[in-house]
Amino acid sequence: MTLLLAGDIGGTKSLLRLVEMPTAADTTSGTIQIDALYEGIYSSQEYPDLVPIVGQFVKEASQKLGEVPQPKGACFAIAGPVIGHKSVLTNLSWTLTTDRLEKELNIPHVKLINDFVAVGYGVLGMNKADLHTLQPGETQTAAPIAVIGAGTGLGQGFLIRHLDEYFVYPSEGGHADFAPRTAIEFELLQDLRQRENIDRVSVERVVSGMGIASIYQFLRDRAIAAGKDVSPADKDPAEISQAALEKSDPICEQTLQIFVEAYGAEAGNLALKLLPYGGLYLAGGIAAKILPLITEGDRFINSFNHKGRVSPLVEKVPVHIVLNPQVGLIGAAICAARL
């Protein structure tokens, strides 16, 4: 067995997990056996760097396991850009480099990856219980895999298979142009341009947590202008989503309808560009939480497949929602195993 350290490092919290994997584990595809030995959550803002967090984690793990763990490799998924072997975290005053971490943590091999790249690795470790299939499609084992996830922003990425191994690549596709398809989406586009004083609207401004809030504000102001008795108060994305799930607020319901359709359309756009017959996976923090709204009336998958004369191409793409919230941490462990 190989002892590894996986980390999901964010501006608010850092999640660390000590894992064991079979020495001869196949980390290229299919279900991967990962045995978690110890896990800890830490407030990132309370520490000056990642090293003391790992030090605290090792101390706690030693007390639990009865011996000091000595990982052979570590991979940390970073909520921020990773360039080469270095990352300057967006929301923390941390600068991390692999050579310094290897030296100060006494771990032979350390790798830093973007958090959505970690999600890409993580889908390789998902099993049937971790997924909800929206469209079975026609799986091709050698084809690309696509990953898209609406959360704070809109992450996108893809996996390409070479021989028997998948390689994960990041993307900034979430910053592509928002392409409205209906009359109300065209109105939303104009509202966002005026409200935000911008001349270009990215799809992330619609398909994300902030997008849910923006759609709600647009519909609320539209209703008020039409003379309807609507509260002028803002709602956060969680409140809007909950009200839509409970069907207690018509504007919140319409907000999520527009959001789900735009999400499906953008996922379909990604599918057209990659033809990911290895599967397209919805990750991020939103899809699993609003699963009933994603599946209601097949609204998402209908938008996904509505691609005119090339619709038959995307109808063959397997589409899955990732239900496991620790997919990024699992991906970091898989990446560490490859070191």
3-state secondary structure 214-231: HHHHHHHHHHHHCCCCCC
Position 328 scores a pLDDT of 93
Position 327 scores a pLDDT of 94
The count of domains in the chain is 2
Same domain (yes/no): 269, 329: no
Same domain (yes/no): 62, 194: no
Please enumerate, by residue number, every residue annotated as part of a binding site.
7-12
Position 152 scores a pLDDT of 87
- Output the CA–CA distances (angstroms, integers) from residue 136 to 19, 160, 246, 300, 312, in the order listed: 32, 20, 28, 14, 14
**Which region, left, alpha or beta, applies to residue 273 given φ > 0 means left and ψ of -120 to 50 means alpha?**
alpha
152 in a domain, yes or no?
Answer: no
Please enumerate, by residue number, every residue annotated as part of a binding site for ATP.
7-12
Same domain (yes/no): 307, 257: yes
Cα atoms found within 13 Å of the Cα of residue 275, Cβ hemisphere only: 8
288 in a domain, yes or no?
Answer: yes
Task: Give the total residue count for the chain.
Answer: 339
Q: Cβ distance 318 to 280 under 8 Å?
A: yes
Which amino acid appears at position 179 of this protein? A
Residue with tokens 């005119």: 308
Residues paired with 112 in a beta bridge: 76
Q: Which helix (H) or strand (E) holds 274?
A: helix 250-274
- pTM over 0.75? The answer is yes
Position 210 scores a pLDDT of 95
Looking at residue 39, which CATH number applies to its domain?
A: 3.30.420.40
Which amino acid appears at position 86 of this protein? K
Position 30 scores a pLDDT of 47
Domain extent, residue 240, equals: 173-322
Same domain (yes/no): 291, 331: no
**Splitting the chain (339 residues) into consecutive groups of 10 residues, what average pLDDT does each group show?**
92 92 58 80 95 97 94 92 89 93 96 94 94 97 96 93 91 94 98 97 97 98 95 94 97 98 98 98 95 96 98 98 94 91
